[in-house]
Amino acid sequence: MASNRLFSIGAAGLVTAAAGAGALAGAPTEPSVPSDFHDRTVLQAEFEPMLWFAAMLGEITFKGGSTFDVDQINLDEVHLAPAGRFTLRSRRWTFDFTAFGTSFDDEARAQQDIDAGGFQVSEGDEVKYDLSYASFKGTAGWSFDPFVTDDTGDTAVWAGVYAGAHVYHLNFEFGTADGADSLEESDTWIEPLVGARLTIDLPHGFEIGVTADVGATLGPGTGFAWEIMPTFRWFPMDNKTVAAEIGFRHVQADLSTGSDDDFAFDTATAGLFGSVVIRF
């Protein structure tokens, strides 16, 4: 599937970077205490502004109309999505808040006939659209005892689980380029979620991580969503207060406003991101 290709491309780049850092870790010896163990047992805050280069794949269904692939109106082009994360850690507890917002606003030629549930668009007709897509996620997590692989404490594996809620908001305007016909769909979905995270601390300030979660939507609408995000960080300073991070984020969302003939948004939004991590 196309969404799997997006994930494979991003994951391959991260695996290559991780392999280079992993080679610096050296051969494991006797376990010890992680070098930053005491930092993790006091209150710590982390702020991370991100730039996410996201592309969308999937299908949209109009209420009372037809289903079409997003690439039929060029909604699959890469867009820059500002995002951010704020994290609080206190001993084994982690409280994490993430958000992103993006807007797809353009004109295109329809590559298929589309029934918009109130008017018809023929293949080749000029259409315009404005899709605003935003997300907020808040979680609380617990970390298990670390597994330490060398006597310096510079290489350690941290694992944990978390639970929380994910809020999606979507506003979609679609119509003919001349403005003669148009429609607008707007809704908000709230889903409880559960997830897990894994972090590997490596020597020389390198860090590999991955988080994954899944949730189901509550409310009058229905839906199911999951997300996975592998990351690679580098802390250039020994005190680990600032880091550069690259990663790949894949958000799969299957959301609808009600019954089978209502508006539905079944898409994968995925792409590479870059960020700066500030810890205090």
pLDDT tens for the chain, residues 1 to 280: 444 554 454 544 554 444 444 444 444 434 444 445 545 557 889 999 999 999 999 999 988 888 889 998 888 889 899 999 999 998 789 999 999 998 888 899 999 899 988 889 999 999 999 999 999 999 999 999 888 876 666 788 999 999 999 999 999 999 999 888 999 999 999 999 999 999 999 999 999 999 999 999 876 677 899 999 999 999 999 888 999 999 999 999 999 987 666 889 999 999 999 999 999 8
Q: What is the pLDDT of residue 66?
A: 86
Hey, what amino acid is at 121?
Answer: V
Q: Structure pTM?
A: 0.83
For residues 120, 121, 127, 132, the Cα torsion angle rounded to the nearest 10 degrees is: 60
Show me where the domains of the chain are located. 2-279
User: 65: helix, coil or strand?
Assistant: coil
How many CA within 13 A on the CB side of residue 76? 15
CATH of domain 2-279: 2.40.160.20
Q: What is the pLDDT of residue 2?
A: 44
Q: Whose CA is closest to 147, among 32, 15, 50, 46?
A: 32
Strands (E) across 144-221 are located at 147-148, 156-176, 182-201, 206-216
